[in-house]
């Protein structure tokens, strides 16, 4: 990164689907004293511009021609931009300061180890190294500043709460496919992967259009994380498969799933499993899980948005407990985690050891706004001191904007949201106000507009017309 003219604390924006190059670019940026910022592959050119400009990007790493085209449209508005690297496909035309991955790697050979060591030794644990862009309730996405310490601490502690094992004890293996610009996949696939020496395989870019299951079958991961929409899609697919089975097979599967759901909802941790359950598991459920690529998978995580009761129950029917995680970009990812040692149906688990929480403004049913504290809590929003002040109280507690309740064993249940923000089943955060205002402004005939999409797979809008009395 250094040989492209990356200056300390300047950005390197990465725009592409999960790949080894994405990881290398991210880690290279951090070592070179830059700040890495992932951009969603679905972002418009203007949305890319916002991230690249806000982070004062010296370098943009793009996947292919399609992503390069977006950057070419806005590059003249980026005063700090010095180089673009394309990591996949061949370059369509040769432009100054546009490098293929091979050319970029070759440039690196000219830099001596001594120079690299010097740059690395300048790093300090309290300096920002990662930016996660996240939607607030108004305005453009804000850059959440995370320090080396925030990242390494979270990669260690949150993943232990989720029972991820160091490679010396057991080789964890997983498939990387969720957007790495989101904190959930970035902390789980990349930073935790490095921490414990996990084996990471990259899915195809069309993973979510149906090829994910092929990758899972090929890799047979030991752990798998999905956003609720991913688990729903898997559920829909299995249901469809079952409905196409013959009568006997359908009966058997339905029976096995009901036995498993029943056993899983009743079972305390070390309770004996019944003979019927063992039979259902051996005869049917193991095979069903193997068809999904989960024959070696022992940990299943869900995060980034609340997951529905029906989905959780469906997977208990397959003898799969979905371990929910709860946190924000501003907490480097999970602040509460479920795992084999901390599981309750419908709960997002217990606070990650070393983190703290408190509930404020507690209402009659015992729910209050969840506030966070810990070494995972961010440094602030880039270039937005006033927004940072709003997010933290005077003692440095981070306000989540979520309503939660904690039972006597320490399990948290999230049951509402105070801030005006829609979180879709895919985990996308969408502030409704700017969209509603824009519609009202464009269509003068509309009196009220309300965006709907919380926990749903798409957005829709309820509109009322202006009428004369």
Ligand X SMILES: *[C@@H]1O[C@H](CO)[C@@H](O)[C@H](O)[C@H]1NC(C)=O
Q: Which residues bind ligand X (CB under 6 A)?
A: 49, 53, 77, 125-126, 147, 149-150, 374-375, 377, 379, 383
d(Cα 187, Cα 176) in Å, to the nearest integer?
A: 11
User: CB–CB of 320/311 below 8 Å?
Assistant: no
Q: CA 188, CA 380: separation in Å to the nearest integer?
A: 22
Tokens linked to 128: 């920002």
CB of 6 to ligand X, least distance (A): 18
Q: Of the two residues 53 and 286, which places its CB atom closer to ligand X in the complex?
A: 53
Nearer to ligand X, 375 or 417 (CB): 375
Closest residue to ligand X using C-beta atoms: 126
What is the CA angle 199-209-426, rounded to 5? 80
CB of 150 to ligand X, least distance (A): 4
Please, which residue, 302 or 332, has the CB nearer to ligand X?
Answer: 332
Give strand pairing partners of 302. 226, 324
Smallest gap, in angstroms, from Cβ of residue 169 to ligand X?
28
- 57/230 with CB nearer ligand X: 57
Segment holding 250, helix H or strand E: helix 247-266
Least Å from the CB of residue 393 to ligand X: 13
The token pair that represents 120 in the structure block:
């690395």
Q: Which is nearer to ligand X, 155 or 285 (CB)?
A: 155
The residue length of the chain stands at: 469
Please give the span between the terminal C-alpha atoms of the chain, in angstroms, as a whole number.
66
Percentages of the chain per state (helix, strand, coil), in multiples of 5? 40, 25, 40
Minimum CB separation from ligand X for residue 56, in Å? 8
Compute φ and ψ for 142, nearest 5 degrees. -100, 145
Kindly tell me which of 375 and 440 has the beta carbon lying closer to ligand X: 375
Task: Name the minimum Å distance from CB 153 to ligand X.
Answer: 8
List the beta bridge partners of residue 61.
14, 85
C-alpha to C-alpha distance for 290 and 237, rounded to whole angstroms = 14
Minimum CB distance to ligand X, residue 158 (Å): 14
Place of tokens 């418009």: 44
Residue 70 three-state SS: helix
Pick the closer one to ligand X by CB: 29 or 55. 55
């Amino acid at each position: 990164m250094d040989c492209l003219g990356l200056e300390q604390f300047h950005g390197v924006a990465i725009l592409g689907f999960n790949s080894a190059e994405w990881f290398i670019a991210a880690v290279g940026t951090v070592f070179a004293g830059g700040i890495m910022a992932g951009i969603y592959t679905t972002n418009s050119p203007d949305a890319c511009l916002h991230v690249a400009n806000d982070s004062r990007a010296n370098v943009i790493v793009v996947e292919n021609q399609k992503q390069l085209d977006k950057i070419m449209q806005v590059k003249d508005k980026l005063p700090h931009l010095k180089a673009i690297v394309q990591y996949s496909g061949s370059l369509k035309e040769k432009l100054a300061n546009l490098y293929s991955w091979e050319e970029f790697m070759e440039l690196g050979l000219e830099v001596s180890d001594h120079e690299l060591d010097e740059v690395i030794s300048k790093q300090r644990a309290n300096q920002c190294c990662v930016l996660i862009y996240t939607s607030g309730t108004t305005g453009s996405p804000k850059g959440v500043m995370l320090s080396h310490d925030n990242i390494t601490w979270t990669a260690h502690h949150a993943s232990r709460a989720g029972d991820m094992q160091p490679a010396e004890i057991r080789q964890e293996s997983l498939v990387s496919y969720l957007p790495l610009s989101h904190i959930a996949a970035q902390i789980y696939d990349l930073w935790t992967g490095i921490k414990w020496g996990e084996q990471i395989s990259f899915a195809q870019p069309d993973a979510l259009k149906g090829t994910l299951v092929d990758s899972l079958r090929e890799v047979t991961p030991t752990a798998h994380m999905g956003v609720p929409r991913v688990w729903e899609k898997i559920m829909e697919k299995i249901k469809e498969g079952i409905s196409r089975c013959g009568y006997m097979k359908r009966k058997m599967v339905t029976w096995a799933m009901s036995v498993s759901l029943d056993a899983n909802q009743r079972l305390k941790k070390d309770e004996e499993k019944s003979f019927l359950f063992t039979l259902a598991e051996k005869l049917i459920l193991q095979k069903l899980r193997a068809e999904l690529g989960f024959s070696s998978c022992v940990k299943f995580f869900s995060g980034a948005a609340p997951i529905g009761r029906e989905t959780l129950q469906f997977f208990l029917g397959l003898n799969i407990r979905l371990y929910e995680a709860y946190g924000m970009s501003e907490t480097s990812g999970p602040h509460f985690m479920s795992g084999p040692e901390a599981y309750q149906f419908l709960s997002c688990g217990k606070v990650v050891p070393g983190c703290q929480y408190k509930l404020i403004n507690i209402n009659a049913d015992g729910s209050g706004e969840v506030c966070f504290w810990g070494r995972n809590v961010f440094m602030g929003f880039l270039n937005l001191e006033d927004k940072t002040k709003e997010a933290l109280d005077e003692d440095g507690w981070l306000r989540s904007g979520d309503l939660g309740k904690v039972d006597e064993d320490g399990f948290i249940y999230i049951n509402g949201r105070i801030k005006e923000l829609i979180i879709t089943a895919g985990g996308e955060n969408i502030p409704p106000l700017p969209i509603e205002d824009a519609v009202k402004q464009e269509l003068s005939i509309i009196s009220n507009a309300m965006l709907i999409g919380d926990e749903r797979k798409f957005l829709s809008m309820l509109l009322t017309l202006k009428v004369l009395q």
